[in-house]
Amino acid sequence: MTLYAWARQRRWPALPAAEPRYFDVAADARVLALCNWQPALSASRRSVEGPIRESCPTLLVLHGLEGSGEAHYMRGVADKAFAAGFNVVRLNQRNCGGTEHLSQGLYHSGLTADPLRVLAELRDRDHLTRFAVAGYSLGGNLAMKMAGELGAEEFPEVRAFAAVSPVIDLEACMQSIERRQNRIYEWNFCRNLQARMRRKGRAFPGGFNLAGLWKIWSIRAFDDRYTAPHHGFAGASDYYHRASALRVIDRVARPALILSAADDPFVPPEIFDAPAVRNNPNITTVITAHGGHCAFVEDANGYDGYFAERTVVDFLAARV
């Protein structure tokens, strides 16, 4: 199902063209978001009814490793959320979606500061007042880590979270992807990581040592050489421990949905049985027998069959 969902052609004729928007998230980093805004009312009607855009909830969506705002699951959940009345902001993480030239540094699996800066700008500059955050895979780890870091009091405008196939225990998920049967997936990730670092090298000559890059065919080796030292971690293992949402998930104090599959090739279902997850009454955990990784395709039954997208939007719409 993972491969089927990745390769299947999809169309979203009801989703309007996205408006690109740039956010400065650090002194040396700018990120690109693809925004689907609900329409604003005309000035003559605004004084009576208020602008639709500002009165609607806004969904911030976070993609997975080497994904982008154009990933099929990002557009799929945007289509359903927009139809449900959300503004939708599909965020490209640093360097993703062809944006290597916008940031000197790299992203990592626990870099919640960037999406928080985006949310803050949407609140302060755009006067949006109700937010939800949804993430897939690596983005799911970001969403749940953000939920734990915010706790009960900080940034109350963020009302709810959802995570699909979230890698909340990075070490356990890395061990899963390193299994022999998953070698084709890891090879593809590493091919994309290598290509990104080459583009990064062209954008910032001398910024990274690319010697021997072609020899790196494991994500752990890539993180050990690039991601971890760049962000001040002692190595890949230290990075996986400190960036995992599992470290703070016991502090999640707002409604949060975790949706994963028992047959996910990368995310072992037992990580969601950790006491910090199981004993937190604010977290709703759904583990389906089938669904693969960020796939979850079922018989249509009156809709397009993408179960995770529908479930995420239904959960968040009821809570924002």
Nearest in space to 86 (alpha carbons), one of 166, 160, 152, 13: 160
Nearest in space to 130 (alpha carbons), one of 62, 80, 58, 77: 58
Separation between Cα atoms, residue 255 and residue 318, nearest integer Å: 10
Separation between Cα atoms, residue 161 and residue 150, nearest integer Å: 11
Extended strands (E) in 183-290 = 256-261, 283-288
Would residue 109 show up in a list of annotated catalytic residues for this protein? no
HSE-CB of 254 using CA atoms within 13 angstroms = 28
Would residue 293 show up in a list of annotated catalytic residues for this protein? yes
Would residue 114 show up in a list of annotated catalytic residues for this protein? no
Cβ burial, residue 157 (10 Å; 0-12/13-18/19+):
middle
Nearest in space to 84 (alpha carbons), one of 305, 309, 255: 309
Report residue 222 as tokens.
Answer: 């890539």
State the catalytic residue, choosing from 79, 114, 224, 264: 264
- Sheet with 131-136, strands from edge to edge, namely 19-26, 29-36, 87-91, 58-62, 131-136, 158-164, 256-261, 283-288
Report how far Cα 161 is from the mean position of its chain's Cα atoms: 11
State the catalytic residue, choosing from 68, 137, 165, 260: 137
State the sign of the Cα–Cα–Cα–Cα dihedral 294, 296, 91, 125: negative
State the catalytic residue, choosing from 63, 72, 108, 293: 293
Spatial CB neighbours of 42, under 8 Å, sequence gap ≥ 6:
none
Other CB atoms within 10 Å distance of the CB of residue 169: 25
Residues marked as catalytic: 137, 264, 293
